[in-house]
């Protein structure tokens, strides 16, 4: 019943929710004292989140353990009770890990499932665990812990992708290709320069991810439901225990804030959109018209009707999945918009968006690494494209400018040369210095090398350009950042 997007399934969550609902109707809600009637089946289905938030079990148990230790420190739990709680929670964790734990929909969420299982096992000590805590600060804690945990894996994938691009750049340092603006051939560039353009963007994504993790650095537990607690809780102890940098200073902010999630979703959207643009290029490059690359068999599919087809489905799907990431961000922004202080149940809708973004960005990054590390480069096709399409026109204009012709004039002269070549259906290479002098007397015999795209890339003299020296410099810098 992985409703929505959760890819990870949880042991013990049945695929038949309705049947579960009936069987578990009698599971007692913790607020039972206040009510005589039960929640309707529909309401229970709207309310339940355990089928997706069970994913938070590790963080929930870790948070509860820290909370219990704190309660013992301030004398609310005896040492015996603390020991029972810690052992009980560890037990539950092991069971969940092994797939032997049964989550119940009627207990709504992961928090109540774990607490109720604990009480079933250890009795009244379990009933004391929720002293000085609300699910509002509990869930705010779990989500922060979850992002911090997941970010490490995502960061590793980002680094691996940047590493893949850097390797590709190094291995193909002298491969040239057309550089485009408006998808029209503009100037010759190194293939490696093009790859590193993405690498730098991904390194910025990594900074955005790190910023999102920093936004999870303040510990919310101790806020209670919203106003703080009637107990002298030791928030500093819990902070230290869970490795946070600080404590959320305002209890109302602690339970209502989801900025840290928006930050992660923003990271994932920006990164996803970048991968989407990259995929668009892979799709174009693998077409017959470009023919710059051949994607590996492991990331292409055939057609059920057209035997000759090799479709770049994985690139297309990563491009398509970026829509989910943008959607996840917009969905949470929309949930938050209009919510008054402090906790509102709408906030439960944050989880599937975040989980989906975590799964999607991980999958997209892994797919990119696989596509890039298995693709074949078709250097000849790149070379043909760059030689046949006047890609060195700017170099020729600059040549004349260096001879003293005002740039606007040299631009015009080269424009006329291109037009005349086009009319005759040829390219620059059909022209001798003699021919060129008909357009301008300033062309010397040294013009031949200006026509050559391979020479063009190394004529670039500016910092950050596509010259061999500059690109090698980038590779070195990126490698240093990665270590
Ligand atoms: N499952 C809830 C959520 O994700 C936990 C907090 C519930 N709090 C409450 N007051 N009903 O938001």
- Integer Cα distance of 134 and 131 in angstroms: 8
Q: How far is the CA of 34 from the centre of ligand 1 (A)?
A: 18
Q: What pLDDT does residue 309 have? A: 86
Helices (H), 286-312: none
Q: Are 479 and 166 in contact (CB under 8 A)?
A: yes
Q: Which fold has domain 136-378?
A: Fumarase C; Chain A, domain 2 (1.20.200)
- Integer Cα distance of 445 and 423 in angstroms: 24
Domain at 385-482, CATH from 1.10.150.120, 1.10.40.30, 1.10.10.10, 3.40.50.2300: 1.10.40.30
- Integer Cα distance of 220 and 218 in angstroms: 6
Q: What pLDDT does residue 387 have? A: 94
Q: Where are the domains of the chain?
A: 45-131, 136-378, 385-482
Q: Which single residue is written with the structure tokens 């040369």?
A: 417
- Is the C-beta atom of 279 inside 6 A of ligand 1? no
Q: Which fold has domain 45-131?
A: Fumarase C; Chain B, domain 1 (1.10.275)
- pLDDT averages per 10-residue partition of the chain, 483 residues: 44 49 58 84 94 98 98 98 98 98 95 98 98 98 98 98 98 98 97 98 98 98 98 98 98 98 98 98 98 96 87 98 98 98 98 98 98 98 95 95 96 96 93 94 93 93 97 98 96
Q: Omega of the bond prior to 55 within 30 degrees of 0, cis?
A: no
**Given the CA of residue 347, which atom of ligand 1 is nearest to it?**
12
Long-range contacts of 398-402 (CB under 8 A, 24+ apart): 399/443, 399/447, 399/450, 400/440, 400/442, 400/443
- Is the C-beta atom of 309 inside 6 A of ligand 1? no
Q: What pLDDT does residue 21 have? A: 45
What DSSP assignment string belongs to 210-252? HHHHHTT-EE-TT-TTTT--SS---HHHHHHHHT-SEE-S-HH
Residues known to be catalytic: 182, 303
- Integer Cα distance of 365 and 154 in angstroms: 8
Q: Residue whose CA is closest, atom 12 of ligand 1?
A: 348
- Is the C-beta atom of 348 inside 6 A of ligand 1? yes
């Amino acid at each position: 019943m992985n409703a929505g997007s959760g890819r990870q399934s949880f042991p013990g969550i049945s695929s038949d929710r309705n049947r579960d609902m009936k069987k578990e109707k009698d599971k007692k809600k913790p607020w039972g004292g206040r009510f005589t009637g039960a929640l309707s089946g529909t309401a229970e289905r709207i309310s339940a989140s355990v089928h997706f938030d069970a994913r938070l079990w590790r963080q929930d148990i870790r948070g509860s353990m820290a909370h219990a230790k704190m309660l013992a420190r301030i004398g609310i739990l005896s040492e015996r009770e603390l020991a029972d709680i810690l052992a009980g929670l560890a037990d539950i964790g092991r069971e969940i890990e092994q797939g032997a734990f049964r989550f119940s929909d009627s207990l709504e969420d992961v928090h109540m499932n774990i607490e109720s299982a604990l009480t079933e096992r250890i009795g009244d000590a379990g009933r004391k665990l929720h002293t000085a805590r609300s699910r509002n600060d509990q869930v705010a804690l779990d989500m922060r812990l979850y992002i911090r945990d997941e970010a490490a894996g995502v960061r590793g994938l980002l680094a691996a992708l940047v590493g893949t691009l850097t390797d590709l750049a190094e291995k193909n340092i002298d491969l040239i290709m057309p550089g485009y603006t408006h998808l029209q051939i503009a100037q010759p560039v190194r293939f490696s320069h093009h790859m590193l353009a993405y690498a730098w963007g991904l390194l910025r994504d990594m900074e955005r991810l790190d910023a999102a993790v920093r936004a999870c650095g303040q510990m919310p537990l101790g806020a209670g439901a919203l106003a703080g607690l009637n107990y002298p809780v030791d928030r500093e102890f819990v902070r230290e225990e869970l490795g946070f940098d600080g404590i959320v200073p305002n209890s109302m902010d602690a339970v209502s804030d989801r900025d840290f999630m928006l930050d992660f979703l923003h990271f994932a959207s920006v990164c996803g959109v970048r991968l989407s643009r990259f995929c668009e290029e892979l799709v174009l490059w693998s077409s017959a018209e470009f023919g710059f690359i051949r994607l590996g068999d492991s990331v292409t599919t055939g057609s059920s009707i057209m035997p000759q087809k090799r479709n770049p489905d994985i690139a297309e799907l990563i491009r398509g999945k970026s829509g989910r990431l943008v959607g996840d961000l917009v969905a949470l922004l929309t949930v938050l918009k209009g919510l008054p202080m402090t906790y509102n149940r709408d906030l439960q809708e944050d989880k599937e968006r975040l989980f989906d973004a975590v799964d999607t960005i991980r999958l997209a990054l892994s797919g990119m690494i696989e596509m890039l590390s298995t693709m074949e480069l078709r250097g000849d096709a790149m070379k043909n494209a760059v030689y046949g399409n006047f890609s060195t026109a700017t170099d020729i204009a600059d040549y004349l400018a260096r001879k003293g012709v005002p740039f606007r004039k040299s631009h015009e002269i080269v424009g006329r040369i291109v037009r005349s070549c086009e009319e005759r259906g040829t390219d620059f290479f059909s022209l001798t210095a003699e021919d060129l002098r008909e357009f301008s007397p300033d062309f010397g015999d040294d013009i031949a090398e200006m026509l050559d795209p391979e020479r063009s890339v190394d004529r670039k003299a500016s910092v950050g350009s596509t010259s061999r020296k500059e690109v090698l410099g980038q590779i070195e810098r990126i490698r240093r950042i990665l270590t």
